[in-house]
Structure 1
């Protein structure tokens, strides 16, 4: 079985792809877009997620000469870019979270009273958490969402350009605030 040029490109490292042309850079997109999409959709919602991911890769392509080629993976660097892109979308994110926090409690119908009460409690919890996220500093929120996206402390530190100890303390404080906002429940 013969190897094709596509096969050769697929085995290139992220660092090698960063130094290659636009076609090869597409392989980097194929490798990491899904993970970045999952991270971005939690941060900016479904309406803006495709723009956020596209902007992330556009910026990465334009600034690929700034990538540290000693890194094995471009993913933490891409998460850093995505976080900065999301910060530009912050006004829309804040409006969305404040809107969710102000949603009126639903009026339960008599036959479904128990389910309605449960749903109202759940929605009240969502509003409470959304309001706390809106009040939280961007630094704490960024660490929280990157951790929720599955990044390790070291990867979050690399993505945001901060020490791992700072990541741990910001994550701890963010968790404490969310727990306190939700009535201390775990």
Structure 2
């Protein structure tokens, strides 16, 4: 049995054959819908549709030197989600927010499976710097590699690995580190 074209080949084919985009939608919709469902469950379907519209419109901007097609799609998803949260904040200023974030983290614990540890886990996640939290969630929830997660957030892979290690250490210890690396 012969394997079909890889994601990068399919994306490049769309310049002459727009139907080549459909296998990408089929391959990645489940994972991308999960990304949205964990972060904005009531809007996940609409956000997924918006993602595919934006990804198709910007497909010529994909740069394989910056990462995989999968990582690029998660980057588009992250932008779609950020836009959603900004619009929501503008129309619903009463929603709880965590300072410095684009998303309503207070809603995360209601979607966690481990209800017994949800309050502590939510508190630990909220204490992480936003960049570390996003990397941790991209790797843990979305099953991206650290290199793919780095491409999603637009940082070097080595920086992502360092931040991911720091975030995991903080989550394991239950005590965040201050900026100097000392226990608080």
Q: TM exceeds 0.5? A: yes
**From 168, 179, 182, the counterpart of 1:175:** 168
| Residues 33 and 44, structure 2, Cα contact 8 Å, conserved in 1 | yes
Asked if 1:134 is matched to 2:126, the reply is yes
Segments of 5+ residues of structure 1 without an aligned counterpart are 1-9, 104-121
Asked if 1:57 is matched to 2:52, the reply is yes
Segments of 5+ residues of structure 2 without an aligned counterpart are 90-94, 98-102, 176-184
| Residues 79 and 159, structure 1, Cα contact 8 Å, conserved in 2 | yes
Where does residue 92 of structure 2 map in the other structure?
Answer: none
The aligned length equals 154
Question: Which of 1 and 2 has higher RCO (CA within 8 Å, sep 6+)?
Answer: 1
Q: How does 1:60-79 map to 2 (within 5 A)?
A: 60-68=55-63, 73-79=68-74
Residues of 2 paired with 1:66 and 1:41: CA distance? Answer: 26
SS in 2 for 1:123: coil
Asked if 1:160 is matched to 2:160, the reply is no
Where does residue 14 of structure 1 map in the other structure?
Answer: 10
The Cα of 1:19 is off from its aligned counterpart by 2.2
Cα 1:68/1:166, change in 2 over 3 Å:
same
Between Structure 1 and Structure 2, whose CA radius of gyration is higher? 1
Residues of 1 paired with 2:23 and 2:155: CA distance? Answer: 28
Cα 1:20/1:52, change in 2 over 3 Å:
farther
The two structures have a TM-score, normalised by structure 2, of: 0.67
Cα 1:85/1:136, change in 2 over 3 Å:
farther
Cα 1:22/1:131, change in 2 over 3 Å:
farther
The Cα of 1:55 is off from its aligned counterpart by 1.9
The Cα of 1:84 is off from its aligned counterpart by 2.0
| Residues 147 and 153, structure 1, Cα contact 8 Å, conserved in 2 | yes
Residues of 2 paired with 1:165 and 1:71: CA distance? Answer: 14
| Residues 55 and 85, structure 1, Cα contact 8 Å, conserved in 2 | yes
The two structures have a TM-score, normalised by structure 1, of: 0.66
More helix by share: 1
The Cα of 1:16 is off from its aligned counterpart by 2.5
